[in-house]
Amino acid sequence: MRASMADVEHALKGINFPKNKNEIVKHAQSNNASNEIVSDLQELPDRTYNNAADLAQEFKGKHLK
């Protein structure tokens, strides 16, 4: 993972949870997210995220590895 959480939050502006990984990726793409952000989101586990904090926790955990 290379993108910052701030970049991801910007790319996901206006998203309503819960959403699964594919829905999150599509939302980021519709907000013209960079390839780096889309790639990072595609690396997340394929599950449903209940809110932004849930997504952030998973993203930060992956980002630190």
65 residues of the chain, pLDDT tens digit each: 578 889 999 999 999 999 999 999 999 999 999 999 999 999 999 999 999 999 999 887 765 44
Per-residue pLDDT at 65: 46
Contacts of 25 (CB under 8 A, 6+ apart): 38, 41, 42
| Residue 64: per-residue pLDDT | 47
- AA letter at 6: A
Q: Which of 15, 22, 18 is CA-nearest to residue 51?
A: 18
pTM here? 0.89
